[in-house]
Chains A and B, each alone.
Chain A
Amino acid sequence: MTMLIIGYGNAGRGDDGLGPAFAERISGAGLNGCRIDIDFQLTVEHALLVTEAEIVVFVDAMIGSDTPYCFTRVRADRSADLASHSLLPEAVLTLAEMLYDKRPEAFVLGIGGDSFGEVAEGLSVTARTNLDLAEAFLLDWFAASHMSGEAAVELSGLG
């Protein structure tokens, strides 16, 4: 089983850096068969990258959630057009399907934050707490998936 974790966001915009922070932590965990990618945002070339994995986890900051994290399955969706230079996970998956005929299993891990927009480095207290919880969840989920050889969907859900 090959897994790709893409943590994206801008660490110069407060809690928008949750995705990269998560990816950096996970890369330190040395998960077997798991590739880590860190980026400012999702762009069209991620469609090529996701074709190299069987399971993809998109990790992004989440605004306005009352849960620490949210883990949900995501699928290709042609209504998720390119809104700007950055893409939604659904658009990345759609491009992978249309251009390369690849359909990796995919999930979004959204981690709650509460400080966005202003130019600022570092995560808020809330974001750091949620990051810990999301990391623990992902490690459990990864272990379960690794044992079964497929994505452990039964562990998916709201954190």
Chain B
Amino acid sequence: MAEPRLIEISPVTRVEGHGKVTIHLDADNRVDEARLHIVEFRGFERFIRGRLLWEVPVIVQRLCGICPVSHHLAAAKAMDVICGVDELPPTADKMRRLMHYGQVMQSHVLHFFYLAAPDLLFGFDAPAEKRNIFEVIKENPELGRRAIAMRKFGQDIIEATAGKKIHGTGAIPGGINRNLPIETRDRFLAVVDDMEVWARDALELAKRYTLEHEHLVAEFASMPSNYMSLVRETDGALDLYHGKLRALNATGGIIFDNLDYAKYHELLVEDVRSWSYMKFPFIKELGPELGWYRVGPLARMNTVDFIDTPLANAAMGELKSETGGAPNNSTLTNHWARMIEVVHCVEKIRELLHDPDLQGTDLRATGQRREEGIGVIEAPRGNLIHHYKVDENDQVTYCNLIVSTTHNNEGMNRAIKDVAIKHLSGQERITEGMLNHIEVAVRAYDPCLSCATHALGQMPLQVELLDAQGELIDSRLRSG
């Protein structure tokens, strides 16, 4: 009889940062356990203590090289509260929203075209040398050029609103430090029609993939779960920048709704497990086994009542019709949801560019100083919570962050186990294609593992096979 085995995939490729998957096989090659291990933030919450409140929205961008704008905006929203500002001047609110839509758009585009496309176009089992972006581009170079042009559009919007491509300073406690000059606005307006056409084409691609692979999508890493996101306070619409918390169960039943996100710590508990640095949040009233939930594009499609832009709303209607309006539990449908959000972002960007408030000069509000502030946004990958306390010297004394990938931790672990059981159990030989199935399940969440140390010599994929005693049996190294 064979010995029990442990397979490691480390780091997981085509996700941000480094992750490691371990798959424990028993003596009969059946999957016993599968886990995603993540090292993230590494003391950032301690690092931020002692910093002055006004510098926090800038410093937090160093958390991550992929979604710095999300952290910039969530921290700025928390500092608004600390500065006693409950409502921003319209110019500040709209400039921040423009920045956010630019970010979500470019983030989703990169994920879909460059990270997910090889799996979707060539299949999860395709040879590794075929399953890469260069093969995609060989077949369709225009797709590659469009994706880069859309990325650049989003990045240019970030630069125009945040001031710089990296370490932007645009959002400040209580407002924004710039408006949008007419000439910059016109530069964006000149190309926004192209962006809309390309976004609609991308949406069509994602939709077609999902519908043409109905059985795969329904089966692959799918599972019933709870879902949580912000929704617009007044009407339950999709709102990526601000709103109230809503959580639904797998059949659409309300768990909580219209809740002030400043009370998140009364609703959510962060569980700790010995084998991962990343916490496991769950809804307190349901407990850890029943209260875990998912966030992100598909979660948002499930929670919101409608989208306030016509193209995206119509597209969401098609997505929802697949499940008769009930929450969609199929993990791979995240790709379709992501492209709906790209269309929505382009529609919102166009709407904002025509709004004269972007050229306003009332940029900042002031108020009565408070000791504590919580800022929440819907980042590309899902709900993002920043929570700070500040002393009388304006220095941070407490910081707690719950990022999207942490919210999705339980969901990703369950997805990995589901795929491992379906595709690896009972197999005598573990192929690279099988291992890629695991990575596909992780990538569907577009996790940001936030380990931005990417210095030379740090990006190989290492697969290790170990026995139950931890002894290395076999290993495989492939370059990133």
**B-binding residues in A (CB < 8 A):** 9-13, 15-16, 18, 38-41, 43-45, 47-48, 60-64, 78-86, 88, 94-95, 98-100, 108, 110, 113, 116-121
Q: Does B166 contact A (CB under 8 A)?
A: yes
Cα separation A45 to B145 with both chains bound (whole Å): 9
A120/B47 in contact, CB under 8 A: yes
Min CB gap A80→B, angstroms: 7
Cβ < 8 Å to A, chain B residues 124-158: 132-134, 137-138, 141, 144-145, 147-148, 151-152, 155
**Contact call A39/B114, Cβ cutoff below 8 A:** no
28 sample A-B contacts, Cβ–Cβ < 8 Å, listed by A number: A11-B62, A11-B167, A12-B63, A12-B452, A13-B452, A39-B65, A39-B166, A40-B65, A41-B452, A43-B151, A44-B110, A45-B151, A45-B155, A60-B455, A61-B456, A63-B456, A63-B457, A80-B479, A81-B480, A82-B114, A82-B480, A84-B480, A85-B65, A86-B454, A98-B141, A117-B42, A117-B451, A119-B47
Chain A CB within 8 A of B165 CB = yes
Query: Which B91-137 residues have C-beta < 8 A from chain A?
Result: 110-111, 114-115, 132-134, 137
Instruction: Bits for B446-480, please: 1 = Cβ < 8 Å to A, else 0.
Output: 00100111111111010000000000000000011
Task: Report B-chain residues with C-beta under 8 Å of the C-beta of A43.
Answer: 110, 151
Q: Which residues of A contact B455 (CB under 8 A)?
A: 9, 15-16, 18, 60-63, 113, 116
> Which of chain B's residues has its CB closest to A48's CB?
B148
B419 within 8 A of A: no
User: Of the candidates A11, A60, A79, A119, which one forms a contact with B41 in the assembled complex, judged by CB atoms under 8 Å apart?
Assistant: A119
Which residues in A have their C-beta under 8 angstroms from that of B44? 119
Q: B residues within 8 A CB of A94? A: 134
In this complex, the interface size class of chain B, counting residues with CB under 8 Å from chain A, is 35 or more
Cβ contacts under 8 Å, A86 to chain B: 16, 65-66, 454
Q: Which residue of A lies closest to B47 (CB)?
A: A119
Q: Enumerate chain B residues within 8 angstroms of A118, measured Cβ to Cβ.
A: 42-43
What residues make up the interface of B, taking CB atoms closer than 8 Å to A? 13-17, 41-44, 47, 59, 62-66, 68, 110-111, 114-115, 132-134, 137-138, 141, 144-145, 147-148, 151-152, 155, 165-167, 448, 451-459, 461, 479-480
Q: Kindly provide the distance from the CB of A69 to the nearest chain B CB, expressed in whole angstroms.
A: 11
How far, in Å, is B310 (CB) from chain A's closest CB?
29
B111 surroundings in chain A (CB, below 8 A):
85
Contacts of B62 in A (CB 8 A): 10-13, 119, 121
Give chain A residues whose Cβ lies under 8 Å from the Cβ of B115. 82, 84-85
Closest to B131 in A: A81
Contact present for A84 and B148 (CB under 8 Å): no
What 10 pairs across the A-B complex have the smallest Cβ distances? A12-B62, A83-B480, A40-B65, A61-B455, A81-B132, A10-B452, A119-B47, A41-B65, A16-B453, A62-B456
Please give 10 more A-B residue pairs, beta carbons under 8 A apart, in addition to A38-B166, A40-B64.
Answer: A10-B65, A12-B62, A16-B455, A48-B148, A82-B132, A85-B66, A99-B148, A117-B453, A119-B41, A119-B62
Which of A48, A95, A108 has the most chain B CB atoms closer than 10 A to its own CB?
A95
Residues of A contacting B452 with CB < 8 Å? 10, 12-13, 16, 40-41
Q: Say how far B130's CB is from chain A's closest CB, in angstroms.
A: 11
Contact of A40 with B461 in the complex, beta carbons under 8 Å: no
Which residues on the A side are within 8 Å of B59 (C-beta)? 12
